[in-house]
């Protein structure tokens, strides 16, 4: 049961796959695919460890059950080469601190060195493997590489929702060789992003932002038959405004998506879905610090100026549209919120979503960061750990990393 401001939704088991609780793991070697792809500063210090924390319930469960825990993850995009700046060694130290127990670290993810460490592990021990993407076979879903990973374990558990939309060796290929199950985080992501969206408490409102319509078309198409209201902000809003025949100055526009945008507006109208676009915008001629800004109506942006945030009237309109919502899903910021001058729209909507008497789901890395910057993350029902994966799920598509898991036989 999920609860938020006295709103409750019965979360049903819709995964249809084995979970870690179905496995008899005591004394067994368990390969947990986690998403430990965390950000670092210039001094190689982790600046945000939420992805590490999010997989702790699965890791702790395996430890408590007496398994030998082998964790694999990617970090960054080394493109099949060993690059020290993408080493998971600092992550092992942070994981050790969070688990409050020793975490062994292997300098590779396959071969004699990790195999030797695994052979000496005791029940409850934890080993983190070096970056999976240091091997080209990972992203190519190479069978030999997947088989080498599988040699390390008796069971496979996928808890890396952020990588579940990738058909890689550690998310799909390895499942050919081991009984495979979902971790707690992966299960929770599916239950919220699919279960709640397919059976929402109404009114159901989708808030979409970010730069491009093209990245959200599938989501709009899928949600058009399910939501009661759609709110669109961010750069993608101006493709819609341009499609309606209005002047948008030098604002971001996908010219090849104008017809698609017009068709989406028409589809939403036919489905009696209320559709909200910005009515005013914060504009500037550049993103330079100290650049002059103006607030103008969204349909009258002058040449040489571009919209970089929604304006105060749009904030009021969108906030009022959210007030009676019972389910809200938000993916994508309202503007260039990383710059203070263009952050007010995104942060205001973050507060409006958090204050709503609703079950609230936030998806996408930028939106996740925005709600944390706004200081309201604790008031959001569920924050997804996957950007591309959450979008694909909201489009109604299957994810390779989930499809590959062993089916539950009830």
Q: What is the pLDDT of residue 91?
A: 97
- Kindly report, residue by residue over 336-378, the tens digit of the pLDDT: 999 999 999 999 999 999 999 999 999 876 898 899 999 999 9
Whether the CB-CB separation of 280 and 297 falls below 8 Å is answered with yes
Report the C-alpha gap between 360 and 329 in whole angstroms.
6
**DSSP letters spanning 321-381:** HHTT-SEEEEES-SS-TTSGGG-HHHHHHHHHHHHSSSEEEEESHHHHHHHHHTT-GGGSS
Residues 6+ apart with CB under 8 A from 409: none
- Sign of the Cα torsion 52, 200, 11, 389 reads negative
Spatial CA neighbour of 72 closest among 171, 203, 189: 171
Give me the pLDDT at residue 389, please.
85
Tell me the catalytic residues: 51, 212, 365, 388
| DSSP-derived 3-state class of residue 181 | strand
For residues 40-67, average pLDDT = 93
Q: Which two three-digit tokens encode residue 205?
A: 């409102």
Q: Please report the pLDDT score of residue 409 as a whole number.
A: 83
Residue 229's SS3 state is strand
Give the position of tokens 């948008």.
Answer: 248
pLDDT tier for residue 216 given thresholds of 50, 70 and 90 = confident
Q: Is the dihedral of CA 162, 164, 165, 171 positive or negative?
A: positive
pLDDT at 246: 92
pLDDT given at position 11: 45
Q: Please, what is the average pLDDT of the chain?
A: 92
Reported as a single tens digit per residue, the pLDDT across 169-201 is: 999 999 999 999 999 999 999 988 888 888 899
Whether a cis peptide bond, with omega within 30° of 0, leads into 266 is no
* pLDDT band at 410; cut points 50, 70, 90: low
Residue 315, pLDDT above cutoff 90: yes
Helix (H) or strand (E) holding 319: helix 312-322
pLDDT over 70 at 6, yes or no: no
Whether residue 13 has pLDDT greater than 80: no
Q: Is 7 a residue whose pLDDT tops 50?
A: no
Q: CA 52, CA 74: separation in Å to the nearest integer?
A: 12
Domains (ranges, CATH) in the chain?
Answer: 20-182 (3.40.50.1260), 190-394 (3.40.50.1260)
**What is the C-alpha to C-alpha distance for residues 129 and 108, in angstroms, rounded to an integer?**
6
Residue 115 has pLDDT above 70, yes or no: yes
- What number is the average pLDDT over the span 93-108? 97
pLDDT at 210 over 50: yes
In whole angstroms, what is the distance from residue 227 CA to residue 274 CA?
A: 9
Distances (CA, A) of 188 to 19, 57, 260, 410: 11, 11, 33, 20
In which element (H, E) is residue 237 found? helix 237-243
Please determine, for residue 4, whether its predicted confidence score (pLDDT) is greater than 60: no
Geometric angle at alpha carbon 319, from 315 and 355, rounded to 5°: 125
Asked if residues 88 and 35 have their Cβ atoms less than 8 Å apart, the reply is: no
Q: What is the pLDDT of residue 224?
A: 87
pLDDT at 288: 85
193: three-class secondary structure by DSSP: helix
In this predicted structure, the answer to whether residue 285 has a pLDDT above a threshold of 60 is yes
DSSP string of 23-69? Answer: S--TTSEEEEE------B-TTS-BS--HHHHHTHHHHHHHHHTT-EE
Whether the Cβ atoms of residue 322 and residue 353 lie closer than 8 Å to each other: yes
67 contacts: CB under 8 Å, gap ≥ 6: 25, 26, 27, 28, 29, 30, 123, 124
């Amino acid at each position: 049961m999920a609860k938020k401001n006295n709103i409750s939704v019965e979360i049903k088991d819709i995964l249809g796959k084995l979970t870690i609780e179905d496995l008899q793991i005591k004394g067994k070697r368990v390969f947990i695919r986690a998403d430990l792809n965390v950000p670092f500063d210039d001094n190689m210090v982790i600046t945000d460890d939420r992805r590490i924390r999010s997989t702790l319930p699965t890791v702790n469960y395996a430890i408590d059950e007496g398994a030998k825990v082998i964790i694999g993850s990617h970090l960054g995009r080394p493109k099949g080469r060993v690059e020290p700046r993408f080493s998971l060694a600092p992550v092992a130290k942070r994981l050790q601190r969070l688990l409050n127990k020793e975490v062994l670290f292997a300098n590779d993810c396959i071969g004699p060195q990790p195999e030797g460490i695994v052979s000496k592990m005791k029940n409850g021990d934890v080993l983190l493997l070096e970056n999976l993407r240091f091997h080209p076979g990972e992203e190519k879903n190479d069978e030999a590489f997947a088989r080498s990973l599988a040699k390390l374990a008796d069971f496979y558990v996928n808890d890396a929702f952020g990588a579940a939309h990738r058909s890689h060796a550690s998310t799909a290929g390895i499942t050919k060789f081991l009984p495979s199950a979902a971790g707690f985080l992966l299960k929770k992501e599916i239950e919220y992003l699919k279960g709640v969206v397919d059976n929402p408490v109404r009114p159901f409102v989708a808030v979409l932002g970010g730069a491009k319509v093209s990245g959200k078309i599938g989501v709009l198409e899928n949600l058009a038959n399910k939501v009661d209201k759609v709110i669109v902000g961010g750069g993608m809003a101006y493709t819609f405004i341009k499609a309606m025949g209005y002047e948008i100055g030098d604002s971001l526009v996908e010219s090849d998506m104008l017809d698609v945008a017009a068709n989406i507006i028409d589809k939403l109208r036919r489905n009696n879905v209320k559709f909200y676009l910005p009515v005013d915008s914060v504009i500037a001629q550049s993103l330079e610090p100290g650049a002059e800004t103006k607030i103008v109506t969204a349909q009258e942006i002058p040449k040489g100026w571009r919209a970089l945030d929604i304006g105060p009237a749009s904030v009021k309109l969108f906030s009022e549209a959210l007030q009676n919502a019972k389910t809200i899903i938000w993916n994508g910021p309202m503007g260039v919120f990383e710059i203070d001058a263009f952050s007010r729209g995104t942060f205001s909507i973050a507060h409006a979503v958090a204050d709503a008497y609703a079950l609230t789901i936030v998806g996408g890395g930028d939106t996740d960061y925005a709600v944390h910057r706004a200081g309201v993350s604790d008031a959001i029902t569920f924050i997804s750990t996957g950007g591309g994966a959450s979008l694909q799920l909201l489009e109604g598509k299957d994810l390779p990393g989930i499809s590959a898991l062993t089916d539950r036989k009830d």
